[in-house]
A and B are shown apart, each in its own frame.
Chain A
Amino acid sequence: MLKIQNLHANVEGKQILKGINLEIKAGEVHAIMGPNGSGKSTLASVLAGRKEYEVTEGTVEFLGRDLLDLDPEERAGEGLFLAFQYPVEIPGLSTTNFIKTAVNEIRKYRGQESLDAVAFLKMMKEKMALMNIDQSLLSRPLNEGFSGGEKKRNEIFQMAMLQPKLAILDETDSGLDIDAIRIVANGVNKLHTKENAVLVVTHYQRLLDYIIPDFVHVLYNGRIVKSGTKELALELEEKGYDFIKNEIDVEEQV
C-alpha cells in the first residue's frame, strides 16, 4: 500500500529525514517510535503534504501512485488520512459543515455523486454511534474550545467519516489521560480492517497497549534504526531510548 524509499526531507534548510525506508501493506498496523526530535512528526507531515517540508531525495509510492507529486487534498482523495497532533481550531466553521464539505469533496475527487442531506445525516448517525461521539460536539465550531480529548475524538470521528485506506496517527495520545486514550484507541480499532492500514506515530508505548501493532520501528536521527514486533515497544519502554541511542552512536563512531 505504502512504499517509502530512501526518503530525505528538509525543513527550513535543516535536514530532518535522512533516508527512511518503510513498507506498509493492507491490513497492517505499524508503529513508529522515537525520542523527541528524531523526525517522527516530520515523517507524518511529509506524507500528508505539508508545504514547509521539502523532500530532497527518495520516493513514496501510495497505492501505485507517486504520493509526493500530489497536493494534500489529492492525497486525501486517494485515501490518506492524518490525525493531527494539534488539530486546528476554526471559529465560525461548524464541525458538521466542515465534515460534510470534506466528505463531498473526496467523493467528487473519486467521481462519485455528492451525498444529499438525508444520506449524509444517516452516515453521521451511524459513525456517531460507532465512535460514541455526541451531537453537541459536532454542532460546535470546529475544535473551538474542545478539550484535548474532544479534539482527538473528533479526529478519529473524521477518520470514520472519510474512511481512509491509510491512517497516520501523529502523537494522538499526547496530552490524553488513560480514559481518553482508551476511547480514541477503541475508535481506531473499530475502523481497522483487512483492507486498510494504520501508522501510529508515538513517543510512548502506552497507546500500543490499546492499538496493537504488527510492526514497531524506531526512528532516530532521521533514520529507522531498528524494526521489530510489538515486543520492541515494551523493551523501549523498559530501557528507555538511551539504549538505542548508545547502540547507534557507538556504531556510527565505528
Chain B
Amino acid sequence: MNNLEYYKERFDRLKSAKTVDRFADIRQNAFNDFSKTGIPTSKNEEWKYTRIGNIFNKEYRSLIPDVVSAAAEEALSSVRLPGYEQANELVFVNGFFNQPLSTIRSSDLVILSLEEAAVADEYREFVKKNLGHSHHYLKDGINALNTAFMQGGLFIHVKKGYAVEHPVYIYNISDAGAGNIFCQPRSLMHVAENSQLQMAETYVTIGGSDSFTNQVMEVVIEKDAVVEYYKIQNDAANASLVSTTHFRQTGKSYIHTVTISLNGGIVRNNLNIIMESERSEAHLYGLYFHGGTSHIDNHTIVDNVKPNCFSNELYKGILNEDSTGVFNGKIYVRQDAQKTNAYQSNKNILLSDNASVNTKPQLEIFADDVKCSHGCTVGQLDEEAMFYLQSRGISESTARSLLVRAFAEDILEHIKLDPIHKYIEKLIVKRLKKGTT
C-alpha cells in the first residue's frame, strides 16, 4: 500500500459509503494534503532517522470499517492495566472505539462517538474548532492520513469542576490474527475548567501477523485543569506505531506526561504541548528501554505562545542489542512569550556496540527575556560505578542491572498513578532479568 492509487480508491469508497459525513470537509482537505506529501521519507527532516517506508510496502486489512474480532474481545482481559477495577476503560479495537468493551465508572465523564459529538448542541462548536488542530504542527502525510480516513473516533468530555475519581485507561488492541492489520484510532478530548484527570494508555497486538497503528489524540485543557497522562508501549516486534498526542492548554493549566516505551517494531511518538495561556505549566518525561532490532523515536514540541509559562522535559534512553533511538525536542518561544522558562534534557546509555541513538534538541526563540536550556548526552555505563559495585561483591550482570535501574529512576518516580508505577517497575525488572549484557 505504498502508492497513491491505493488510497485514492479507498478514499472514494469511504466517501460513497457515507450518506452523511460530518467530517467531509476536513477529510477532503486532509486527503488533499496526503496526496501532496505522501508517506514521509528520510528526505523529510522530521523523518530523517525514522524510516517507515517498509511499513507501507506491505498489504494490510484495511482502511474500511471492520468487524470486531472475537479474539480482540478475549484479548482485553490480558491487556488490562493494573488498577483497572477502579478505572474507566476505553477500548479501541483495530482503530475503532468499541463501546460494548468499554466501562464508564465516572458520571463526570461524557463519552460519545466523534460523529455524535459533532452534531450535539453543546459540543458541536468545540469539535469544529479543535478536531484536526494537530495538523498545524504535523504537516507530514502521516497525520493527514489519519484524518482523511477518520472513523470510529471517540469524543471524551470531562465536566467542569470535576476531579475524575477513577483514572481513565485507554487500550488500543490490534488484531493481526487474520493477516496484517492497519489501525487508525482517533480521539478528541475536552478537559473543562477546574477539572482533574489521570489517564493511562497502552497498545497491544494479538496474532502473529504485523500491525501498524497510526494514532492521533487531541486534547484541549481549559483553565485551572490538571491532567496526568501516562503512555505505555510494550508491544511485540511485529507491532509498529505512530502515536500522536496533541495537547492544547487553552487556559492556565497543568499537564504532566510520562511516556514509557519498552518494546515494539518501529515506534514513533509525537507529543505536542501548545501553551496558549499565560502561566501554564507542563512536565514531559520519557523513558525508552529497547533491545532487539526495534526502533524508538520521540518527537516532542513545546510551543510557548503566551508569556510566563514553565516547561520541563527529561527523556532518558537505554538502548541494547541492535536497537536504535531518536530524540527530537523542539521548543518554540513566540515573540509574545516573555518570561518563558523552558528546560529540556535527553540522556542516553548505549549497552551494546550495535545500538545507536540520534538526539537533537531544537530551540527557536523569538522573545528576548526567557530562560531556556537544553542538553543531551550519549554514553555507556560508568566504568567507575561498575567497579565500585563489583568491589562490593556484586556480580557484573547484577551491577549492570542496578545501574540501568538507577538510571531509569528519575523518570519512574514521576509516575504518580500508583498501580501504573508498580506495573512499570515490574516490567523493567523483568526486562533486566532477561539480561542487559
Contacts and interface: CB of A to CB of B under 8 A. Distances in A.
Given A76-B391, A93-B406, 14 more contacts: A49-B391, A73-B393, A76-B390, A76-B393, A77-B393, A88-B388, A90-B388, A92-B405, A92-B407, A93-B409, A97-B402, A105-B394, A105-B398, A162-B393
Interface string B382-400: 1111011111111110110
Nearest to B412: A92
A73 B394 contact: yes
A97 B403 CA distance: 12
Given A71-B396, A88-B385, A162-B392, A101 B402 contact: yes
Interface of A: 48-51, 71-73, 75-77, 81-82, 84, 87-88, 90-93, 97-98, 101-102, 105-106, 109, 141, 158, 162
Nearest to A93: B406
Interface in B378-437: 382-385, 387-396, 398-399, 402-403, 405-410
A92 B410 contact: yes
B406 A109 contact: no
Contact of B409 (A50, A76, A81, A92): A92
Secondary structure call for the B interface: helix
Scoring B382, B383, B387, B410 by chain A CB atoms within 10 A of each residue's CB, the highest score goes to B387
Contacts, number: 76
A48 B402 contact: no
A109 to B, nearest CB: 6
A98 B387 contact: no
26 contacts: A49-B390, A49-B391, A50-B387, A51-B387, A72-B387, A73-B391, A73-B393, A73-B395, A73-B399, A77-B393, A82-B391, A88-B388, A92-B409, A93-B402, A93-B403, A93-B406, A93-B409, A97-B402, A98-B389, A101-B394, A102-B389, A102-B392, A105-B392, A105-B394, A105-B395, A162-B392
Contacts of A92: 405-410
A28 B396 CA distance: 32
Contacts of A90: 385, 388, 402-403, 406
Nearest to A50: B387
Contact of B402 (A71, A88, A98, A106): A98
A70 B403 CA distance: 22
Nearest to A109: B393
Contacts of A73: 390-396, 399
